[in-house]
A and B are shown apart, each in its own frame.
Chain A
Amino acid sequence: DAKTTQPTSMDCAEGRAANLPCNHSTISGNEYVYWYRQIHSQGPQYIIHGLKNNETNEMASLIITEDRKSSTLILPHATLRDTAVYYCIVRVGRSNDYKLSFGAGTTVTVRA
């Protein structure tokens, strides 16, 4: 699976959009981009995933660049409850490598 690079930490104001970048310059054509988050002392929570088209669900939007070398997770209206570590993971959607490889993630702090 391709490696990802994320900023170590970022702050966001409550009520504003939070834009979380992820670099995955070595991604291959059959690899998806997945986002999870982990609120303190809880299990990771699936947020969204995509292949090449932008995706949106009730939690967030995922914008993937045309060359697929980077992506941005957007939390449209950040709340204090969005404070968490956010993990960007790339993996083949269907393969015999089933694991999720977590990096260090981005620690997002939403401030009032």
Chain B
Amino acid sequence: DAGVTQSPTHLIKTRGQQVTLRCSPKSGHDTVSWYQQALGQGPQFIFQYYEEEERQRGNFPDRFSGHQFPNYSSELNVNALLLGDSALYLCASSLTHGPGGGTYEQYFGPGTRLTVT
């Protein structure tokens, strides 16, 4: 049973560029969340996708956008990169429609390390 996978593992970009990060959820999961983790801090919630729609968003600017595909995989896009966007970007998957309904624990991928120079 494959866990959450993310690509690429590492990425180096220049200020002002755009970046796309990818995530495949754990088998059987239908919900994908994205988090940003700056060095030395806990992960911060960016947004969550379910049924190809963004259903909750954290305190991040519109430069951060996402997409969920019919196979439940997801992309995170960041435009006009800033030095402060350098971080570990984590994808987490979960199951919204499980037995009894509701949301369940989130399973995280290994992350994509983004460095902006």
A residues with CB within 8 A of B: 34, 41-46, 49, 85, 87, 93-105
A98 to B42, CA, bound (A): 17
Please provide the chain B residues from 30 to 79 with a CB less than 8 Å away from any CB of chain A in the complex: 31, 33, 35, 41-45, 48, 55-56, 58
Q: Once the chains bind, are A44 and B90 in contact (CB under 8 Å)?
A: yes
With A34-B105, A94-B103, A104-B42 known as contacts, the answer to whether A99 contacts B48 (CB < 8 A) is: yes
Residues of chain A within 8 A (CB-CB) of B44 are 102
Q: Once the chains bind, are A96 and B56 in contact (CB under 8 Å)?
A: yes
Q: Please tell me which one of the listed residues B45, B101, B109, B111 contacts residue A100 in the complex, with CB atoms under 8 A apart.
A: B45
Give the total number of A-B pairs whose CB atoms are below 8 A apart. 59
A93 to B103, CA, bound (A): 7
Q: Please tell me which one of the listed residues A46, A49, A98 contacts residue B33 in the complex, with CB atoms under 8 A apart.
A: A98
Chain A contact residues: helix, strand, loop or mixed: loop
Residues of chain A within 8 A (CB-CB) of B110 are 42-43
Q: Once the chains bind, are A42 and B111 in contact (CB under 8 Å)?
A: yes
Q: Once the chains bind, are A97 and B56 in contact (CB under 8 Å)?
A: yes
Closest to B56 in A: A98
Closest to B110 in A: A43
Q: Once the chains bind, are B105 and A46 in contact (CB under 8 Å)?
A: yes
Closest to B4 in A: A43
Residues of chain B within 8 A (CB-CB) of A44 are 43, 90, 92, 108
Residues of chain A within 8 A (CB-CB) of B42 are 85, 87, 102-105
With A94-B101, A96-B56 known as contacts, the answer to whether A104 contacts B107 (CB < 8 A) is: no
A15 to B33, CA, bound (A): 36
Would you list the 8 A-B pairs with minimal beta carbon distance, nearest first? A102-B42, A43-B108, A94-B102, A99-B45, A46-B105, A44-B108, A102-B43, A98-B48
A34 to B94, CA, bound (A): 14
Q: Once the chains bind, are A100 and B103 in contact (CB under 8 Å)?
A: no
| Most chain A beta-carbon neighbours within 10 Å: one of B41, B43, B58 | B43
A87 to B106, CA, bound (A): 13
Closest to B90 in A: A43
